[in-house]
């Protein structure tokens, strides 16, 4: 078994999106003849599942205000909030042709054994892909099998920032009707509470290293077999970030189609906007209200079609016409905020 550390030029990387790019790159390009382990810790990040609607799962105004990044996983499952309190592990395993079923019990069993050794005696698998202790969730996992390799992993909640976790993934648009799969908001708990006294003061980095040592049955990190990413590897990973994991088209554009409506009261009167959205672009728009306009509102509806649900794109489209002719004294920014708020 090999370890790939989240380091570049000797410096640790605390970016969960880059960690994801490293894992997917390795899944497709690095073959060492043995399993590969990727531990990582991330600065605040929201991960949405492969088949989820980003705008429905994430409280976008909150994450923007708090500088929380968003990335879409390549695996399914629900939305996760990660930060420095979470210890994360991903694994690449070769699987036999006859054994391609997703098996979370096999993924979790080594961790369960280690956690019991660290004092969490009552840890157990819950449902299909969670770990719990005394009915409280401490970990969630995701997995896929592609080209004969199992790509899976889990997040372990050493501590929890309840305020950020709750607000970052709280849907803001209650009228949205989506075809996507909605996350189940589970009751979660800090692992630290269940550890033996000698481990209760571990930092996230210390716990991550301890878990690595126990997985590899090693006394020090010098004894752990490692693969160090090359400059060529990093160049390809950088390109993946640009093309995918740090790209609006992947994080938002891959969301399923949905419809939603927003209404607001302005000095010109009430505006009610109903939108049909496909790949996070407006496919159809209908505007109602008690405002007074001199020209047919269908022109405003038309300029919105094909526009990405991004503030700069919406404002640019709306400023291409004189809104006073259609709605009265209201700005493109005000309409954009109504749609995105």
Q: How far apart are CA 228 and CA 8, in angstroms?
A: 9
pTM: 0.76
Q: How far apart are CA 241 and CA 21, in angstroms?
A: 7
Residues 6+ apart with CB under 8 A from 334: 266
Angle at 275 between CA 320 and CA 73, to 5 degrees: 100
Q: How far apart are CA 298 and CA 289, in angstroms?
A: 13
Structure tokens at 152: 């899976």
Q: What are the residue ranges spanned by the domains of the chain? A: 2-251, 258-340
Q: At what angle do helices 231-240 and 16-29 cross, to 10 degrees?
A: 110
Q: How far apart are CA 236 and CA 261, in angstroms?
A: 41
Q: How far apart are CA 302 and CA 285, in angstroms?
A: 7
Cα 4 to the center of its chain, rounded Å: 21
Residue pair 159/100 in contact by the 8 Å Cβ criterion? no
Q: Which CATH architecture has domain 2-251?
A: 2-Layer Sandwich (3.30)
CATH code 3.30.390.50 for 258-340: yes
What is the C-alpha radius of gyration for the chain, rounded to an integer number of angstroms?
23
Angle at 277 between CA 303 and CA 176, to 5 degrees: 125
For the stretch 293-333, pLDDT in tens is 888 899 999 999 999 999 999 999 999 999 999 999 999 99
Backbone angles phi, psi at 216, to 5 degrees: -90, 0
Backbone angles phi, psi at 277, to 5 degrees: -120, 130
For the stretch 64-87, pLDDT in tens is 999 999 999 887 777 889 999 999
For the stretch 140-193, pLDDT in tens is 888 888 778 888 899 999 999 988 988 998 643 433 444 454 554 457 889 999
Beta strands 86-94 and 123-126: pairing type?
A: unpaired
For the stretch 5-32, pLDDT in tens is 999 999 999 999 999 999 999 999 999 9
């Amino acid at each position: 078994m090999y370890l790939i550390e989240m380091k570049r030029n000797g410096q640790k990387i605390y970016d969960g999106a880059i960690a994801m790019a490293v894992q997917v790159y390795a899944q497709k390009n690095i073959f060492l003849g043995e399993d590969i382990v990727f531990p990582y810790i991330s600065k605040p990040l929201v991960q949405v599942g492969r088949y989820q609607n980003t705008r429905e799962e994430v409280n976008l105004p909150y994450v923007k205000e708090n500088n929380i990044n968003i990335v879409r996983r390549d695996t399914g499952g629900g939305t996760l909030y990660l930060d420095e309190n979470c210890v994360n592990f991903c694994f690449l395993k070769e699987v036999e042709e006859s054994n391609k079923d997703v098996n979370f019990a096999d993924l979790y069993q080594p961790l369960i054994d280690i956690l019991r050794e660290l004092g969490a005696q009552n840890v157990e698998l819950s449902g299909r892909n969670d770990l719990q202790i005394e009915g409280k969730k401490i970990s969630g996992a995701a997995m896929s099998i592609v080209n004969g390799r199992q790509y899976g992993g889990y997040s372990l909640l050493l501590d929890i920032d309840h305020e950020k976790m709750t607000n970052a993934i709280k849907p803001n648009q209650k009228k949205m009707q989506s075809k996507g799969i909605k996350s189940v908001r589970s009751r979660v708990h800090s692992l630290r509470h269940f550890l033996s006294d000698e481990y209760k003061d571990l930092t996230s980095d210390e716990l991550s290293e301890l878990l690595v040592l126990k997985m590899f049955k090693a006394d020090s990190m010098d004894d752990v077999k490692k693969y160090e990413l090359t400059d060529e590897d990093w160049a390809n990973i950088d390109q993946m970030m640009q093309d995918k994991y740090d790209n609006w088209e992947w994080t938002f554009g891959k969301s399923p189609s949905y419809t939603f409506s927003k209404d607001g009261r302005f000095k010109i009167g009430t505006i009610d906007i109903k939108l049909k959205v496909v790949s996070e672009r407006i496919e159809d728009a209908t505007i109602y209200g008690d405002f007074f306009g001199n020209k047919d509102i269908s022109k405003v509806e038309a300029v919105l079609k094909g526009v990405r649900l991004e503030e700069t794109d919406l404002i640019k489209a709306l400023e291409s016409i004189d809104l006073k002719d259609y709605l009265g004294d209201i700005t493109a920014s005000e309409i954009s905020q109504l749609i995105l708020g």
